[in-house]
A = this chain, B = another copy of it.
Amino acid sequence: MSQALRLATSLSRAYPWVSSPFIVSAPMRVMSGPAMAVAVSRAGGLGFLGPSVKTQDMIKDLEEISALVHDLRKSSSAFSTLTCTLPVGVGFQLWSDDLETAISGIQKFKPCAAWLFAPRNGQTDYDNWSRRIRGASSQTQIWIQIGTLAEAKGLLKGSERPDVIVVQGADAGGHGRAKDGLGLITLLPEVIDALAGSQIPIFAAGGIADGRGAAAALCLGADGVVMGTRFLASEEARISRGYQNEIVRACDGAVATTRTLLYNHLRGTMGWPEEYSPRTIINRSFIEHQEGRSFDELKKDHDEALKAGDAGWGPEGRLATYAGASIGLIHGVKDAATIVHEVREGVLERFSAVGKSNL
């Protein structure tokens, strides 16, 4: 059996409800809530709950997910083959999440996967969290998100090896590598070559928003694909309408988005490890920041815009609009299941179309 086939088999054992190709909704902080995570898994993908403002809030979200899954099992055949594992994953920002609270939630609800990202102390934190999670729930697989070749190699040297590695390219929205990131087209195959023989499945994230990007990532060697921004424009996203409208409206990702810490600071979010910064859609706050307006003035206008609600987003808005460079590929809000199905069909369509005209 080839390595690719062996990995596909091991993935289908761990996530038996997931169809091929393996499609994942990213754990976007707050915005990937219970409804989105369950809808994606129910559609044959793997949904992740995003990190919470406070780790304690995760418990409430997991309770809601648990109830949703319980109802699905009673009313249909969905997830009927599962016994004790919750068919959704949970994401953590290691530098800000509380380990003890996380562990108690994992122990109680047994999510099928825990996605670890953004440690303050690199591999040490990954090892510590992984060991504690495995101790609390042997069914919970460890997913680790990296964005550089060096991080990928570091994972092989840790005391705890992840079950899945997510390689995030520079086109991704929200937080990623501040300065040493790169697009998937070169980063992903180079990481895959470096990890060859490790037997760890590798998933691709960053810039994938439709069947074309998903098919491309699979060709580059990914065992599955992760989408974030595409799911911000889903019915189930826990997101303000003004924010979501802006994801749909914006286009030309190279020009309309940038990486900057400005919006973190305007929101009062401090403390991200310095390796990371978020990609966001540019609006008045950033433009005026570039023009040299003072932070205090920008903060005042930002806080006024907060009170305006949905009108605070958009080209003339001032609020953080974290999003990936794939915004130009997203033209409408759909329910999460439709997104999963369309991307899956899009992958098949691409393989068929390329075969007919190019091969």
Contacts from A to B (Cβ < 8 Å): 2, 4-5, 7-8, 20-22, 148-150, 169-171, 180-187, 189-190, 193, 206-210, 212-213, 215-221, 223, 251-255, 324-326, 328-329, 347-348, 350-351, 353-359
Bound: A69/B359 CA distance, A: 27
Q: Contact check: which of B4, B183, B212 meets A189 at CB < 8 Å?
A: B212
A sample of 20 more A-B contacts (CB under 8 A), given A180-B254, A183-B325, A186-B253, is A4-B353, A148-B252, A149-B252, A149-B255, A150-B252, A169-B183, A183-B183, A185-B206, A185-B208, A185-B213, A185-B216, A186-B213, A186-B328, A187-B253, A187-B325, A215-B220, A219-B351, A223-B358, A351-B351, A351-B354
Please judge, given known A-B contacts A212-B189, A216-B216, whether A356 and B207 are in contact too, CB under 8 Å: no
Do residues A149 and B4 form an inter-chain contact, with CB atoms below 8 A?
no
User: Nearest residue in B to A213 (C-beta to C-beta)?
Assistant: B185
Smallest CB separation, A67 vs chain B (Å): 33
B residues less than 8 Å from A253 (CB atoms): 182, 186-187, 190
Bound: A357/B348 CA distance, A: 13
Smallest CB separation, A343 vs chain B (Å): 12
User: Nearest residue in B to A5 (C-beta to C-beta)?
Assistant: B357
User: Nearest residue in B to A3 (C-beta to C-beta)?
Assistant: B357
Q: Contact check: which of B2, B20, B183, B353 meets A182 at CB < 8 Å?
A: B183
Do residues A218 and B358 form an inter-chain contact, with CB atoms below 8 A?
yes
B residues less than 8 Å from A193 (CB atoms): 328-329
**Dominant secondary structure at the A interface:** helix
User: Nearest residue in B to A225 (C-beta to C-beta)?
Assistant: B358
B residues less than 8 Å from A183 (CB atoms): 169-171, 182-185, 207, 325
B residues less than 8 Å from A216 (CB atoms): 185, 215-217, 219-220
B residues less than 8 Å from A206 (CB atoms): 185
Bound: A217/B7 CA distance, A: 24
B residues less than 8 Å from A350 (CB atoms): 219
Bound: A135/B255 CA distance, A: 36
B residues less than 8 Å from A22 (CB atoms): 358
Do residues A185 and B210 form an inter-chain contact, with CB atoms below 8 A?
no
Do residues B186 and A4 form an inter-chain contact, with CB atoms below 8 A?
no
Smallest CB separation, A270 vs chain B (Å): 27
Bound: A184/B326 CA distance, A: 11
Do residues B185 and A21 form an inter-chain contact, with CB atoms below 8 A?
no
Smallest CB separation, A120 vs chain B (Å): 21
**Would you mind naming 25 contact pairs between A and B with Cβ atoms under 8 Å apart?**
A4-B356, A7-B357, A8-B358, A20-B358, A148-B255, A149-B251, A149-B252, A180-B254, A181-B254, A182-B254, A182-B325, A183-B185, A183-B207, A183-B325, A185-B207, A185-B216, A186-B213, A186-B324, A189-B329, A216-B216, A216-B217, A216-B219, A218-B358, A219-B351, A219-B354
